[in-house]
Structure 1
Amino acid sequence: MPTNEEITRHHDPNLSENPWVTGPPAPETVAIVPYNPEWPRRYQALSVEIRATLGDAVLGIEHTGSTSVEGLAAKDVIDIDLTVADPRDENVYVPPLERLGYVLTVREPSFHEHRCLRLADPRANLHVFGPDCPESIRHRMFRDWLRAHPEDRALYEDTKRAAVPGGGNVMDYNARKQKAVRQIYDRLFRAAGMM
């Protein structure tokens, strides 16, 4: 199990590492849409398909990101955290997922061996981590905090809407949200007695 220090440490990208498997994504318009009650059902269908395809290789699977928080406006993209025994062992999960239409787009050895696969239809980002990964724990904590704290849910939604007009790619949009995201993490970690 990771320590509180490992869980509460914010990730700063390793600038010497190129995470893009097939090159950086083309700029796309980020659109925030009202909460869609279909999102949990969409996640459920995707998770059932992933479990059926990968079998025992799936150690855990969670709906994370904004679409997992009822009432929160979001990009119409389902974020899923998948736990496997070793994300570096891509042969176990990448080829079967590719047959479902997922494309490996990100490989970040310096960031808990994170891998990200994208699905075009329906839009989904599948984040792959190993067991007891601090980032997976952070994702679940952030989701659960927003579900239980309407004031921070509203702050996060306002922050996302304000970040859209800057243009660029999703990474640029995420960077514009970073200050508010870290403020929310600070509150939730302190409330959990981790800082």
Structure 2
Amino acid sequence: MGESIMAERTKVVEVVPYNPEWKIQFEQIKSMITGYIGDLILAVEHVGSTSVEGLSAKPIIDLDVVMDSYEVLPEIIERLEKAGFVHQGNLGIEGREAFKRTCEDGFMKYHLYVCPKDGKGYLEHIAFRDYLRANESAREDYEALKLNLAETYRYDIDNYCDNKTEFVKGILKMTIYRD
């Protein structure tokens, strides 16, 4: 599998202060995506840390494109490929299909995922985002953790991500995985 088809690896972990521009960029990318596949999808959601106002983040927009079921995926793939995206499969995570832009489109860096509406990953993204939006102390704790990890694992994105997992799982236990 050639390097060009793999997800872009972050070489340096950079966590920067929240930027209101992220919301604007999301809306513009969403409009572009909706222009290509709007009739095939249910929603385009801004997820990840850039979607939480006031939270420091890696300056990469995460978008979850929500489809009713996998039945529409072949047509989504076809249309997005015509628009200059390469389908990368799930990159090892069930319940999401990753797409990579193959040409410059003038937007900041972003990750595009297509997910079924009942997919575990998608539901977790929304639950985590909404919890952080609503809870200032959790948002502050997560920010402190990320800034600390970004310093400790500046050149090691895997360790940076792995060390956030416990925090994320803790939030998900309080939200969608309550016993």
- Looking at structure 2, the residues matched to 133 and 21 of structure 1 have their Cα atoms a distance apart, in angstroms, of 27
Instruction: Say if 2:146 is the partner of 1:152.
Output: no
TM-score scaled to structure 2, two decimals? Answer: 0.81
Instruction: Say if 2:19 is the partner of 1:36.
Output: yes
Q: How many residues align?
A: 173
Q: State the 1:185 CA deviation.
A: 2.0
- Looking at structure 1, the residues matched to 93 and 14 of structure 2 have their Cα atoms a distance apart, in angstroms, of 30
Instruction: Say if 2:40 is the partner of 1:54.
Output: no
- Looking at structure 1, the residues matched to 83 and 148 of structure 2 have their Cα atoms a distance apart, in angstroms, of 35
Q: Percent identity?
A: 28
Q: State the 1:30 CA deviation.
A: 1.4
Q: Helix, strand or coil for the counterpart of 1:103?
A: strand
- Looking at structure 2, the residues matched to 64 and 161 of structure 1 have their Cα atoms a distance apart, in angstroms, of 19
- Looking at structure 2, the residues matched to 38 and 155 of structure 1 have their Cα atoms a distance apart, in angstroms, of 23
Query: Of 139, 142, 146, which residue of structure 1 is paired with 2:125?
Result: 139
Which structure 2 residues correspond to residues 10-89 of structure 1 after superposition, within 5 A?
22-23=5-6, 25-26=8-9, 28-87=11-70
Q: Which runs of 5+ in 2 are unaligned?
A: none
Which string of whole-angstrom CA distances, capped at 9 and with x for unpartnered residues, describes residues 63-120 of structure 1?
11111100000011111111124447643122432444433334257712x2112346
- Looking at structure 1, the residues matched to 8 and 57 of structure 2 have their Cα atoms a distance apart, in angstroms, of 20
Paired position in structure 2 for 1:173: 160
Which string of whole-angstrom CA distances, capped at 9 and with x for unpartnered residues, describes residues 108-133 of structure 1?
57712x21123464211111111322
